[in-house]
Chain A
């Protein structure tokens, strides 16, 4: 589903070039520091130094940190403005058509980003709380699917044989099954099992279900990538040496292979997060996103589609927000990749 899930990134998984680049020990230890004393630096430290120097990385990191801070401090912002995201200012809507009165969707000193048509809620507060929801879902889903993907990928890549075959088949299955249909059907079923008819399903449960669905479908990309890396690494001398000296499989997996593949994994994670932000908004389109009254960027976009010509502000605010977030993540991910492996995209 190329609208919603992550592609495998410009470097094909298991690209020997990437693996080699990661494994390569910097041939000029200490050079980035200039003609100072020779200080041995690990690839990680070198990457960090390169990253720090990259202006784009800096700017995009700042954007992301600002977004996270805004999202996290949404209750504080609510305290300051005195407006809650669920307050409905229907008196500021026209009675015919329920559009916000005034310019650009009701922008005013009190409502710097205007009001929603229909319910008359403050868009700024919806945005701020919506950011919190989106970022939380994206990070949590990225973390979980990465962990699962790494585990499965490492095991499959190292084990070979039937285990590898089974894992491959499961990956194909997960890729072929339409993710949106599954979400549409499965989430309400699970919610019904856990909650009584009169119980209010807390927003956190729906958020948890969304994260779980993302994790179920997206570990496959990481798994493929890791599997490819492990396959190309397992024949290397240092692994053979470890095996020859009697190291257990676990030791090899954890102490030999894993530390050498963290770089592409990190890059994949940083590129996965924006895909989840987009995908979470996509869920709102088929009606299985975060439920009212929890503010949600995706639901705002979906509701705003028909208002595109009557009240464009309503669409633009969440749209531009998501665009900037995703752009910042992509730029940061790019810079991260450059820092970790300067040869890869030049």
Chain B
């Protein structure tokens, strides 16, 4: 049986035509939507508020007394929405470490100390639960005493006592609740292995960790073996949040922690939403930090970063009182440059600094390290992840959010690098072949590629090596790792140089594995200086000394390449009042926010 040939041909070529039509239609859609011209002048992501940090521990009576200063124009009522893709892993104060959990914790809990921020760059540590940031009993930074305020109540009306704070510290020793910070635990145990002997109040353990005493219901004392002058900062962390023993639900505490702050949990659907409502037993007169103006807070975990950006740019009625805790993705940045949207941008440096770390175990020649500093194109490195909204090129080891920050440039070069200077520094030494390791995610892969290109343009031969992101810091943390360069980020736990320089640049801490000093920088003179600074009597002196040490390390040794200061760039809705980026946590804080009516 033969086929009618005409039909065959016509029938199948129609398909061809439809295919061509579709391609054409798609192209038209493309042209229609993409037809505007992209120009250079868009917005700026940096320096909206490049206020340098003054981070101080304040014992001023007025600053330590509740109620918190009134917010200009602030009104009570309304609901603030927070758009947060992915949600929280842990709300339990012993297990929370990430900034979004800490920011939420500021509404749910009160810790011994807290940060007082005014949005103008003034960050102070004051007493939150405690009447002041802590008394250095013997003036040797070894014994710290805190007096709990009277009248602070939990969500059920019962009073907060010092024993509860002690219990909160105690349970954080447990290996089952180990995801939070470990500073206080390590200081109490005088060892990095903080739970080698005392393992928490479970399985027959004592309710009080060694070194913690509760002389009376309102007083708690910490006794450390070594001087820890940064205790007022450490006491701002959630380790010091009070947890009544009777309310300790262990692994369930993550889902329904017991509130000591102005709000309590109304509902928490993992992956969906979290709703906080007022804690009627919170007394504003006992609280120097919070004005608690909105009636409720609602977190939405269901959106993705680009959807969050689209919604906040659009500012529909439902989103007018919302803000976000995720940076606007690079692709949506162009939409935020109109004056109306630009006014609703919250941006600024976070506590993170990114370094193109050099492995000093492998690159021992300081001139080669200096040459690498001149070779790196920091502009391209930033553009790979979105340009100026993602950060600003760095020249110092410390972040601008750290107290006492001083800007300097030990190796001045244009942001795109200086290949001529590279050749001059290397002289006759042949440039060594380099291996650049990176965590295998799309952003870091793009940055690795940008870095590779700039090093090659300067004459180095670079191969890139992808490392599984789950393994990245472990691999880098091995003393004998075989890589020469790797991009690492470090955020100070509190805004002093003491949480940046010692962990990253004290060579005496170097071990076989688990190293945070991934530059493997080991200079005895620097180690001695670190010790000396730790012993300085006043915080202001220490701040100044850290800044000076920062400059000295880079000028004399150039152990690493400061790449860029991380910046955050988020949007708020038009009805959100008094939102500003927290210097401590990198996103807008909620303690003094309000909804414009």
Query: Contact string, A34-57, partner B, CB cutoff 8 A, digits 1/0?
Result: 000000000000000000011111
Complex: A97 Cα to B41 Cα, angstroms: 10
Q: Which residue from A31, A32, A97 sits with its C-beta under 8 Å from B387?
A: A97
A292 contact set on B, CB distance < 8 A? 445-446, 448-449, 464, 466
Report the nearest B residue to A92, measured CB to CB.
Answer: B40
The answer to whether the Cβ of A309 comes within 8 Å of any Cβ in the partner chain is yes
Complex: A313 Cα to B260 Cα, angstroms: 52
A316 contact set on B, CB distance < 8 A? 26-27, 30
Q: A198-B435, A306-B331, A310-B331 are known contacts. Are A119 and B449 too (CB-CB below 8 A)? A: yes
Q: Is A59 within 8 A of B37, CB to CB?
A: no
B19 contact set on A, CB distance < 8 A? 324, 327, 331
Q: Is A320 within 8 A of B483, CB to CB?
A: no
B453 contact set on A, CB distance < 8 A? 86-88
Q: Is B389 within 8 A of A97, CB to CB?
A: yes
Interface centre among A59, A98, A100 (most CB of B within 10 A): A98
Q: Is A97 within 8 A of B42, CB to CB?
A: yes
Q: A31-B2, A56-B16, A200-B465 are known contacts. Are A302 and B442 too (CB-CB below 8 A)? A: yes
The answer to whether the Cβ of A95 comes within 8 Å of any Cβ in the partner chain is yes
Of A101-109, A132-140, A249-257, the one with at least 4 CB within 8 A of chain B: A101-109
Q: Which residue from B39, B332, B446 sits with its C-beta under 8 Å from A119?
A: B446
Query: Contact string, B1-24, partner A, CB cutoff 8 A, digits 1/0?
Result: 111010011001101100100110
Report the nearest B residue to A198, measured CB to CB.
Answer: B482
Q: A86-B449, A331-B12 are known contacts. Are A96 and B387 too (CB-CB below 8 A)? A: yes
Q: Is B38 within 8 A of A101, CB to CB?
A: yes
Query: Contact string, A209-249, partner B, CB cutoff 8 A, digits 1/0?
Result: 00000000000000000000000000000000000000000
A94 contact set on B, CB distance < 8 A? 38-42, 387
Complex: A308 Cα to B310 Cα, angstroms: 12
Q: Is B3 within 8 A of A346, CB to CB?
A: yes
Task: For the complex formed, measure the closest distance between the CB of A302 and the CB atoms of chain B, giving whole angstroms.
Answer: 7
B42 contact set on A, CB distance < 8 A? 94-97, 99
A312 contact set on B, CB distance < 8 A? 29-30, 33-34
Complex: A190 Cα to B253 Cα, angstroms: 40
Complex: A87 Cα to B454 Cα, angstroms: 10
A287 contact set on B, CB distance < 8 A? 440-442
B45 contact set on A, CB distance < 8 A? 96
Task: For the complex formed, measure the closest distance between the CB of B63 and the CB atoms of chain A, giving whole angstroms.
Answer: 38
Task: For the complex formed, measure the closest distance between the CB of A206 and the CB atoms of chain B, giving whole angstroms.
Answer: 10
B180-239: which have CB < 8 Å to A? none
Q: Is A120 within 8 A of B383, CB to CB?
A: yes
Q: A90-B383, A97-B386, A331-B19 are known contacts. Are A311 and B445 too (CB-CB below 8 A)? A: no
The answer to whether the Cβ of A278 comes within 8 Å of any Cβ in the partner chain is no
The answer to whether the Cβ of B306 comes within 8 Å of any Cβ in the partner chain is yes
Complex: A31 Cα to B3 Cα, angstroms: 12
The answer to whether the Cβ of B384 comes within 8 Å of any Cβ in the partner chain is yes
The answer to whether the Cβ of B534 comes within 8 Å of any Cβ in the partner chain is no
Q: Is A117 within 8 A of B440, CB to CB?
A: no
Give the interface size bracket for A toward B: 35 or more
A314-343: which have CB < 8 Å to B? 316, 319-320, 323-324, 327, 331, 334-335, 338, 342-343
A201 contact set on B, CB distance < 8 A? 465-466
Question: Number of contacting residues on B, CB 8 A?
Answer: 73
The answer to whether the Cβ of A181 comes within 8 Å of any Cβ in the partner chain is no
Query: Contact string, A10-44, partner B, CB cutoff 8 A, digits 1/0?
Result: 00000000000000000010011000000000000
Q: Is B387 within 8 A of A98, CB to CB?
A: yes
Q: A101-B39, A311-B331 are known contacts. Are A197 and B481 too (CB-CB below 8 A)? A: yes
Q: Which residue from A102, A119, A120, A199 sits with its C-beta under 8 Å from B38?
A: A102
The answer to whether the Cβ of B287 comes within 8 Å of any Cβ in the partner chain is no
Q: Is B9 within 8 A of A55, CB to CB?
A: yes
Report the nearest A residue to B441, measured CB to CB.
Answer: A287
B367-388: which have CB < 8 Å to A? 377, 379-380, 382-388
Q: Which residue from A86, A98, A188, A199 sits with its C-beta under 8 Å from B468?
A: A188
A5 contact set on B, CB distance < 8 A? none
Q: Is B334 within 8 A of A99, CB to CB?
A: yes
The answer to whether the Cβ of B463 comes within 8 Å of any Cβ in the partner chain is yes
Q: Is A118 within 8 A of B446, CB to CB?
A: yes
The answer to whether the Cβ of B130 comes within 8 Å of any Cβ in the partner chain is no
The answer to whether the Cβ of A60 comes within 8 Å of any Cβ in the partner chain is yes
Q: Is B34 within 8 A of A98, CB to CB?
A: no
Q: Which residue from B16, B27, B310 sits with its C-beta under 8 Å from A320?
A: B27
Q: Is A198 within 8 A of B483, CB to CB?
A: yes
B334 contact set on A, CB distance < 8 A? 97, 99, 310
A313 contact set on B, CB distance < 8 A? 30, 34
Q: Is A306 within 8 A of B384, CB to CB?
A: no
Q: Is B332 within 8 A of A310, CB to CB?
A: yes
Task: For the complex formed, measure the closest distance between the CB of B468 and the CB atoms of chain A, giving whole angstroms.
Answer: 6
The answer to whether the Cβ of B335 comes within 8 Å of any Cβ in the partner chain is yes
Complex: A94 Cα to B446 Cα, angstroms: 17
Q: Is B440 within 8 A of A98, CB to CB?
A: no
The answer to whether the Cβ of B330 comes within 8 Å of any Cβ in the partner chain is yes
Report the nearest B residue to A196, measured CB to CB.
Answer: B482
Task: For the complex formed, measure the closest distance between the CB of A315 and the CB atoms of chain B, giving whole angstroms.
Answer: 8
Q: Is A100 within 8 A of B483, CB to CB?
A: no
Q: Is A291 within 8 A of B13, CB to CB?
A: no
A288-303: which have CB < 8 Å to B? 291-293, 302-303
Report the nearest A residue to B465, measured CB to CB.
Answer: A200
B331 contact set on A, CB distance < 8 A? 97, 117, 306-311
B33 contact set on A, CB distance < 8 A? 309, 312
Complex: A320 Cα to B42 Cα, angstroms: 29
Q: Is A55 within 8 A of B3, CB to CB?
A: no
Q: Is A54 within 8 A of B385, CB to CB?
A: no
The answer to whether the Cβ of A93 comes within 8 Å of any Cβ in the partner chain is yes
Q: Is A96 within 8 A of B16, CB to CB?
A: no
Task: For the complex formed, measure the closest distance between the CB of B441 and the CB atoms of chain A, giving whole angstroms.
Answer: 7
Interface centre among B2, B383, B466, B468 (most CB of A within 10 A): B383
B28-58: which have CB < 8 Å to A? 29-31, 33-45
Q: Is B330 within 8 A of A118, CB to CB?
A: yes
The answer to whether the Cβ of B402 comes within 8 Å of any Cβ in the partner chain is no
The answer to whether the Cβ of B341 comes within 8 Å of any Cβ in the partner chain is no
Complex: A55 Cα to B331 Cα, angstroms: 43
A59 contact set on B, CB distance < 8 A? 13, 16
Complex: A342 Cα to B36 Cα, angstroms: 50
Complex: A103 Cα to B36 Cα, angstroms: 6
Task: For the complex formed, measure the closest distance between the CB of B454 and the CB atoms of chain A, giving whole angstroms.
Answer: 9
Complex: A102 Cα to B452 Cα, angstroms: 27
The answer to whether the Cβ of B501 comes within 8 Å of any Cβ in the partner chain is no
B385 contact set on A, CB distance < 8 A? 98, 118
A291 contact set on B, CB distance < 8 A? 440, 445, 466
Query: Contact string, B406-450, partner A, CB cutoff 8 A, digits 1/0?
Result: 000000000000000000000000000001000011100110111
Q: Is A104 within 8 A of B31, CB to CB?
A: yes
Task: For the complex formed, measure the closest distance between the CB of A219 and the CB atoms of chain B, giving whole angstroms.
Answer: 29
Complex: A303 Cα to B329 Cα, angstroms: 12
Q: A88-B380, A88-B453 are known contacts. Are A96 and B34 too (CB-CB below 8 A)? A: no
Listed A/B pairs (9) with beta-carbon separation below 8 Å: A57-B12, A96-B387, A197-B483, A201-B466, A287-B440, A287-B441, A309-B33, A320-B26, A346-B3
A positions within 8 Å CB-CB of B? 28, 31-32, 53-57, 59-60, 86-88, 90, 93-106, 117-120, 188, 196-201, 287, 291-293, 302-303, 306-313, 316, 319-320, 323-324, 327, 331, 334-335, 338, 342-343, 346
B positions within 8 Å CB-CB of A? 1-3, 5, 8-9, 12-13, 15-16, 19, 22-23, 26-27, 29-31, 33-45, 305-306, 310, 329-335, 337, 377, 379-380, 382-389, 435, 440-442, 445-446, 448-450, 452-453, 463-466, 468, 475, 481-483
- Knowing that A88-B453, A312-B33 touch, tell me 15 more A-B residue pairs with CB under 8 angstroms: A59-B16, A97-B42, A97-B334, A118-B330, A118-B385, A119-B446, A201-B466, A292-B448, A306-B306, A313-B30, A320-B27, A324-B19, A324-B23, A331-B19, A346-B3
